[in-house]
A = this chain, B = another copy of it.
Amino acid sequence: MSVSTTKVDAEERRRRGMALYRDIMAVEPTEPATPRAATLIDFVFAEIWSRPGIDLRSRRLIAVSCAAGADAHSTLADHFYAALKTSQFTVDELDEFILHFAVYCGWPKAEVTETILKEQLVRLHAEGVAVVSRRLPQPLSAAPADQELRKLGGEQCFREVNCCDAPPRGVPYYESGILNFVFGELWRRPGLNRRDRRWITLACVGLDDTIIPIQSHVYSAMKSGDITYDEMRELVLQFAAHSGWPKAQFMQQSVDEMYERINGEASIEPWREDGLDGTGPA
């Protein structure tokens, strides 16, 4: 019985996708019965998740951010399940992810996300799977309850994360939001490292469709050295598969524009002379 080359290729493509799905989602995949399910295996897994440019932990953070932003509860549940079952993430890290997501997409949406996580913890417990709660003893939160101390810390953290001057006080959005909490508390928390927070933030600003936050975070992710240009280009493809090609188009454009800008700044001290007025990023 002869098999055409194309047939073999299609089978090979499917086989590669199924193997990756099994490893990444930590369940046995069923044979897909619809175009969406077939291309999830043949394209999204076989031809995107398979790419070496960024590691699977980072791809997972992008995927869960996109799924949470899209209210895609079944996809989100499956990723939470797999992230815990494979010990890729601890429960504490996923709780911290949800807080970071709350800041970038709002507390109401994050409450839904937390419900999905709790359901998966019940499911894993029912299956007798032991999950890792935390890797280290719980540290004290780095943020003081005193708002003035938090704002001072927020101004310093803002400069480090955004590679530009901190915004002025006196505007509620900036003073009581950005300085007091977003950089005065959230980004200084120990629950996730800075690189983890970058992936979540980049996916969330991409979801939020606001031009300056996208450009600012794409810029600072590369400028800080946290994420390379090649990794950023992989991020865009991973984001496209999970949030759609149109939203990813502006992300791709911003990656190229900000990379060019950084190259033009190469010999200049990071954030002082970069032309940002310090009020952009969020």
Contacts and interface: CB of A to CB of B under 8 A. Distances in A.
Contact of A245 (B104, B144, B249): B104
Contacts of A111: 36, 40, 72, 74-75
B243 A106 contact: yes
Q: Is the interface of A mostly helix, strand, loop or mixed?
A: helix
Interface string A76-113: 10000000000000000001101100111111111110
Contacts of A102: 36, 39-40
Given A9-B144, A248-B282, A107 B44 contact: yes
Interface in A16-62: 34-37, 39-40, 42-44, 47-48, 51, 53
Contacts of A144: 6, 9
A70 interface: yes
A174 to B, nearest CB: 8
Interface stretch (A127-135, A155-163, A232-240): A232-240
Interface stretch (A203-211, A220-228, A261-269): A203-211
B211 A103 contact: no
Contacts of A120: none
Contacts of A76: 108
Given A6-B145, A9-B146, A36-B110, A244 B176 contact: no
B236 A108 contact: no
A250 interface: yes
A247 interface: yes
Interface string A130-169: 0000000000000011110000000000000000000000
A244 B208 contact: yes
A215 B46 CA distance: 32
A191 B98 contact: no
A106 B233 contact: no
A172 B237 contact: yes
**Chain A to chain B: the 8 pairs with minimum beta-carbon distance, closest first:** A72-B108, A9-B145, A75-B108, A208-B246, A249-B282, A213-B246, A35-B99, A245-B282
Interface of A: 6, 9-10, 12-13, 34-37, 39-40, 42-44, 47-48, 51, 53, 63, 66-67, 70-76, 95-96, 98-99, 102-112, 114-115, 144-147, 171-174, 176-178, 180-182, 185, 189, 191, 204-205, 208-214, 233-234, 236-237, 240-250, 252-253, 280-282
